[in-house]
Chain A
């Protein structure tokens, strides 16, 4: 009797663990592909053809969204929070990548609603694709497809995932700022410092309402912000004196000073 009951527990636990493993794997794939998209987007500062890189990043993000769709399919009929830990790092990385791309395009912060809108998948999209491939397909399979048309999957990014992703975004923006200066772009630090300040104010407003991880990120965020602010300061004070092609050297030295100060404090 007991053994029989435990057999059913074994079955249930095994299916649960298998599903968890599959989700972890999907989450890792999302992380890797998002990271690559971010690296790609960083090349934009030095590249002459901005549009090309943006289209390439868009197609990379489409691949990521396909993975997210697979997660959504795994979670049909499940409680999302039971498996949330398996894929939350992946989602955060995706938020980081997509908000970064959005910032480059529009110079604004992408809202969580806009992100989630892109994460609603329906089989209609597949239908269109199939039709495009074979426009004169026989009638019979299309009725099968029409049945599939009913399916909708969605995976919604939670506010916490979103906030953690945005906090990581600020690190990328800081890198973009310093990289931009190296390329002789002296406009970008001012623009970025303003944007980062807005985000920093937003995080200060949230304070410790959220979970512990958010407060932890706030510290790193402050460091990124002060790096950008210091860069602006240096540009203002010395920008007029230094020839543009030497700016990069100045910032290398400056960065060292900042690091030294941090290690002392």
Chain B
């Protein structure tokens, strides 16, 4: 075979890959759009009055996740199943963001940590690699770390809104998360970098709890303000 023939064939396979990338990019863009909408919606809880109608916000967010599911379903069809990691970096960021949003939603609803399986269910994807489009552990953990950051902010804002008990519950939650992450032997990668930020979130929440307890504010539970239950 001549050299030029060889290169023509290589060009064929390279440009086929490029077409796939193009398709993926389009779907990922619409996913990012939906993710932004959900984020805007859930971020309402940081406002004083937002804390009161958390259940309603959660319901609306759940509706948006239907769109996410259809969008992810169409993303699945854009590339061969066994080449997940070839194109992984294209949707890595948005998937981490979606994990965060799902985890935030579940936290607001039930104040528990969403499991990886539950996340995949919310997003309409698979839990194991063998079964197709799945959620990588590292992406899941990254999303959870974003949640920790968001909750440290929520702790501050709920005090401003007059909800003095929420920071205590957030503190327990984050501490549990922190001890979980301590179990992992992380490599020097992006996940490790994000994990290094967790201690600042823990510290922030501890400060809030400290401020509340030296003023004796966390004992009197103002039942009127707690939005959930």
Contacts and interface: CB of A to CB of B under 8 A. Distances in A.
B85 A81 contact: yes
A209 B137 CA distance: 32
Interface in A100-144: 108-109, 111-112
Interface in B69-93: 82-86, 88
A205 B88 contact: no
A2 B10 contact: no
Interface string B202-228: 000000000000000000000000000
Interface string B99-114: 0000000000000010
Given A2-B176, A209-B15, A209-B18, A198 B185 contact: no
Contacts of B2: 198
A87 B1 CA distance: 28
Contact of B187 (A3, A6, A17, A201): A17
Nearest to B129: A79
A79 B85 contact: yes
A9 B185 contact: no
A32 interface: no
Given A2-B177, A79-B84, A81-B83, A159 B10 contact: yes
A147 interface: no
SS class, residues of chain B in contact with chain A: helix
Contact of B137 (A9, A163, A206): A9
Contacts of B82: 79
A202 B7 contact: yes
B141 interface: yes
Contact of B181 (A6, A12, A80, A199): A6
Interface string A1-14: 01101110110111
A2 B103 CA distance: 14
Given A12-B137, A81-B88, A112-B10, A201 B4 contact: yes
Q: Return the 8 tightest CB-CB contacts between A and B, nearest first.
A: A202-B7, A6-B180, A81-B85, A198-B3, A82-B85, A81-B86, A209-B14, A79-B85
6 contacts: A79-B83, A81-B83, A81-B84, A202-B10, A205-B11, A210-B14
